[in-house]
Amino acid sequence: MHLKTKLIKTLSITSLLLLFGCSTQESKPKIVKATATIKQELTKEIQPTPKIIKHSEPKQMNIEPLKVKKNEKQAQEISKVETLKPQEKKNIPDKNIKTILAHAGIVTSIAITPDNKYILSASEDKTLKLWDIQTAKNIKTFEGHKDWVNAVDISKNSKYVLSASDDKTLILWDIETADNIRIFKGHKDSVTSVVITPDSKYAFSGSVDSTIKLWDISTGKLLKTFKGHKSTVTSLIITPDTKHILSTSFDKTLKLWNISTGKEIRTFKGHLGGVISADITTDSKYAISASNNNSLILWDMETAKVIKTFKTPSYDVLSLKITPDAKYFISGNSDETLRLWDINTIKVIKTYKLMSGQVWSVAMTSDAKLAFAGSYKTIIICKLPFTKDEKQSQ
C-alpha cells in the first residue's frame, strides 16, 4: 500500500495521548514526519474517509485536532495539520533575501557542492534540480524516482548525487550528466534520509522501517543494517572524525553508532516529542536537536546529557544546521521563517521572514556566508550577517 495512503488512518485516544507527549506502555508510535514523508503529514487534512490533499495552492495555516485510528503495527502520531498560504507580496523586499521558484511542490532537501558554487534541491514533485548559486539558474534536472524525493546528498569528490525517496529506493546519479547510475534497494518502507561518507565510498540511509543501512556506493551492495530505533529514522549525521553516525527518530531519541561495528554506543533521551532534525559541532563535542513539541536541546556528545533545553512555543524547528565555527546555527521553521541562533545562549540573533510556507530544509555554504531554505515550491537564499557591525545592528 502506498505510504501516503497507508498513513491516513484513524488513531485511538491512547495514540492521541502520545501525540502530546504522554507515555503509555501499550502504544508504540511510529511516525512519518521529518523529511518529506514526515513533513507531508503536516500538510494533510484528515477526514473520516482517508483522502490525500494535493498542494495545488497554499492555504492559510490552520491547526485542528485530528481523528485517527490505530494501525495494527504502529500508532501513528501527528501533532498538527497545517496548510499554508504565502503572504501577499506587498512587503518591502529584503535585499538579503533572494527567492527561486524551483519546484512544483515542497522542497524537501538541499545539498551544496564542496566548491560552494551549486546547490541541489529535492522535492515532492519526484525530481532533483541542480542550480547555479550566482545566477540562480537551473542547470540540470534529475528524473527517475516514482514518488517524493525526501533527501539528497552530494559526494565530497563532487562526482555523485545520492537521493532517497518514498518509493523505498535510493538512486545514485552522475552529477555532470544527471544520469541514473544505479538503484539501491533494501528498505521495506520510505527512505527518509541519506548521507555520504567523506571519502565518497559509502553511504547511510534511514527509513520509516526504523532501520539505518550502510551501502557500498561503487556496487550498490548493502553492507550492514543498524537496528535499535523503534520508529521512523528522520535524519543522519556523520561525526567529523568519521568514526560514528548520529541518528534521530520519532521514537523521541537520538542514537550514536559505531560505523565500523554497527553497534549502538549511547542513546540521547530528553525530548518529549519525535526528533525531527539535528546537527553536530565540528569539534564533535556538542549536538543540537529539534523535536515536534516545540523544543530544542543542546547535548553533550560524550555523555548524552542535556546541557540546555529551549522552547519555541509558537513554532516547530523543522531543520537545522550548525556553522563551521560552532558558534551559531540556522533553523528552518514552521512559521515561514529562517532564524540565526547563538549556540551558547540559544538565543535568536536574526529572523528572516520568508513568507513562502514552512521551511522544511536548510543548508549553508562552508564559509557561512549564505544560507538556503527549502519551502513550498521555492528555494530562498539568505545572506548571513557574520560581520561584527551587522550582528550588533540586528
244-276, pLDDT tens digit by residue? Answer: 999 999 999 999 999 999 999 999 999 999 999
What residue segments make up the domains of the chain, in order of their start? Answer: 1-90, 97-393
Burial class (CB in 10 A: 0-12, 13-18, 19+), 158: middle
- CA 269 – CA 349 distance, rounded (Å): 28
Query: How many other C-beta atoms lie within 10 A of the C-beta of residue 100?
Result: 20
Q: How confident is the model at residue 337 (pLDDT cuts 50, 70, 90)?
A: very high
* Predicted pLDDT of residue 30: 38
In the prediction, which pLDDT does 348 show? Answer: 95
- Whether the per-residue pLDDT at 210 is higher than 60: the answer is yes
Q: What is the 3-class SS of 129-142, one letter each residue? A: EEEECCCCCEEEEE
pTM for this structure? 0.76
d(CA 354, CA 334): 11
Each residue's pLDDT tens digit, 269-304: 999 999 999 999 999 999 999 999 999 999 999 999
Average pLDDT for 60-86: 36
CATH code, residues 97-393: 2.130.10.10
pLDDT digits (tens, 9 = 90+) for 5-41: 333 333 333 333 333 344 433 433 333 333 444 444 4
Q: What cell was used for 28?
A: 508504540
Decide if pLDDT at 128 tops 70.
Answer: yes
42 within 8 A of 82, measured Cβ to Cβ: yes
pLDDT band at 92 (very low <50, low <70, confident <90, very high): low
